[in-house]
Amino acid sequence: MPEDTTTAESAWNAIQTCREVYNHALTQEYRPAPDHNKPSYNTMQNMLPKWKREWSEWKGVYSKCLQMAVRRIKNSESVLDSLEERGFDVGRLKWKSPREYRSIKYNQSGFDVDNNTGQDGHAIVNLSKIGNFNLDYHRPLPTKQNQNAKITEVILKKQKTGDWTVSIVVKYDADYPEKPTVENISIEDTVGIDLGITKFIHDSDNRAFARLDEEKDRERVERRHRSLSRKQYESENWNKARQSLVRAYERLRNRREDYREKLACWYTQEYDAVFLEDLDVASMTQQDRNARNISAMSWYATIQAFERHGNKNGCHIVKVPPEGTTKRCAKCGVGSDKPLWVREHSCPSCGFTVDRDYNSSLEVQQLGLKKLGVEFEKEELGLGQSEYSSNTMSVEAGISEGSHHRDALLSNTAVNLAIEAENLMREHRSPTLKERTAKAVSE
């Protein structure tokens, strides 16, 4: 949080000055240029001295911050290009209003982070031409003695809730474990995952993780939407109601992120290779009538979380084509059409009968093994021979005697636990998760 109200005002004024620079560069230089000859970042950056002579108030903001405002145009253009490649309909970069531009970035210089304040987890961040911000950090910050880590960027943002956040970007040599070679991967250390709606995850070891129960969160969002609609626009009460609505959305978003991150962390610690379907989420949300539920699943973000944790934990993440995985029999390979409401796979050829999602996860595992180059026989997969029952299984993952990564267990508020699983998890769950669970239940 800012040291005082003067610092907060200076920070917001600096953000708005960067917004003016961004809008000017976008509307006067970048957008008018033909598509085949758009000005580069360096070209627009070199215009900053001229612009500051014309608008002297821009001199009150640190020069690196103005450069980063111009660079944001190119970064945003890259994001639009990546979305277009994934099948989304994208427009063009637009002029930013004050509510849409809420952050300022210090790159390489202009900031100082002092975590030697005598308080654990507390640091003071000094930003040039703005002032000091008090920061409560949750990850270790590099010290002057640590030559392998260096702070490269500091991002200051005023959230829509009115809260201030400081993000510190650290460059360091990550000591990640090496991924095992294909020759050393055993079938037991691989898993196929089917991402669904009725069950968020069903894997080839016949574990099923339920989707988040978002009913209370959605009711909270709708209730605060109604409250906002009754307030006079731009009044003080309207602004308070708007911030309350933002917090409701933020709570829902954080719960989803927390759920998928914990799942990705546990799977990548437990297995040497994880196989996922390479889902085309964009086309699914545009064509399917169930678009709201598909969006709520955050499948693309889940796959990204698995890839990120896979790099950190030395686990292969392999994406396989999703076509036919729900129709083909994992045992004999014969395809059979079945509507979505049919939740059981019963092969008309070999008679193999299992849960539909379980069959799909087995098929994903086989495709992943082939793509990764691991030789296997179908008898090794133990089709339908899992000790787990998909009808009663919820979160036994990590609670058996053989599990060695129990710290990644999921909170019982995130899944529908069976009573037996909940009793087992209580003795292994970390104190932090207990506190968060108790708080969520009380609310």
Residue (of 425, 356, 352) closest to 390 by Cα position: 356
In a domain, 410, yes or no: no
Residue 149 and residue 295 share a domain: no
Q: CA 205 → CA 121, 271, 391, distances in Å?
A: 40, 11, 13
Angle, CA 274 vertex, CA 268 and CA 277 arms, to 5°: 130
- Which pLDDT belongs to residue 222? 94
- DSSP assignment letter at 92: -
Residue 135 and residue 40 share a domain: yes
Task: Tell me how many domains the chain contains.
Answer: 2
Residue 204 and residue 135 share a domain: no
Residue 222 and residue 101 share a domain: no
Residue burial 12-30, b: 16+ Cβ < 10 Å; e: rest: bebbebbbbbbbbbbeebb
Residue 303 and residue 207 share a domain: yes
Please measure the distance between the N-terminal and C-terminal CA atoms of the chain and give it in whole angstroms.
26
Residue 88 and residue 215 share a domain: no
Q: Please identify which residue in the block is written with the tokens 């909170």.
A: 411
Residue ending a domain, among 393, 410, 436, is: 393
Task: State the burial class of residue 377 (Cβ atoms within 10 Å of its Cβ: 0-12, 13-18, 19+).
Answer: exposed
pLDDT of the chain, 443 residues: tens digit per residue? 888 889 999 999 999 999 999 999 999 989 888 888 888 888 998 999 999 999 999 999 999 999 999 999 988 988 888 888 877 778 888 899 988 999 999 998 889 888 777 778 888 889 999 999 988 888 878 776 566 788 889 999 999 888 899 988 888 877 888 888 988 888 888 999 888 888 888 888 888 888 888 889 999 999 999 999 999 998 999 999 999 999 999 999 999 899 989 999 999 999 999 999 888 776 666 665 666 777 777 888 899 999 999 999 999 999 998 888 888 888 787 877 877 777 888 888 887 888 888 888 888 888 998 888 888 777 667 665 544 443 333 333 333 333 333 333 333 333 333 333 333 333 333 333 333 333 333 33
Judged by phi (left if over 0) then psi (alpha if -120 to 50, else beta), residue 298 lies in left
Residue (of 104, 127, 187, 94) closest to 3 by Cα position: 127
- DSSP assignment letter at 121: T
H/E run at residue 149: strand 149-158
- Which pLDDT belongs to residue 285? 67
- Which pLDDT belongs to residue 245? 94
Integer Cα distance of 75 and 91 in angstroms: 15
DSSP string, 88-112: -------PPPTTT--EEEEESSSEE
Q: CA 313 → CA 274, 396, 405, distances in Å?
A: 12, 21, 12
- Which pLDDT belongs to residue 81? 87
In a domain, 398, yes or no: no
SS3 297: helix
Tokens of 3: 């040291």
In a domain, 430, yes or no: no
The residue segments making up the domain with residue 115 are: 1-172
Residue ending a domain, among 143, 172, 201, is: 172
Residue ending a domain, among 151, 172, 193, is: 172
Residue 219 and residue 147 share a domain: no
- Which pLDDT belongs to residue 242? 92
- Which pLDDT belongs to residue 185? 87
In a domain, 438, yes or no: no
In a domain, 161, yes or no: yes
In a domain, 253, yes or no: yes
- Which pLDDT belongs to residue 199? 84
Residue 72 and residue 133 share a domain: yes
Q: How many residues would you count in the chain?
A: 443
Integer Cα distance of 219 and 292 in angstroms: 15
- Which pLDDT belongs to residue 224? 94
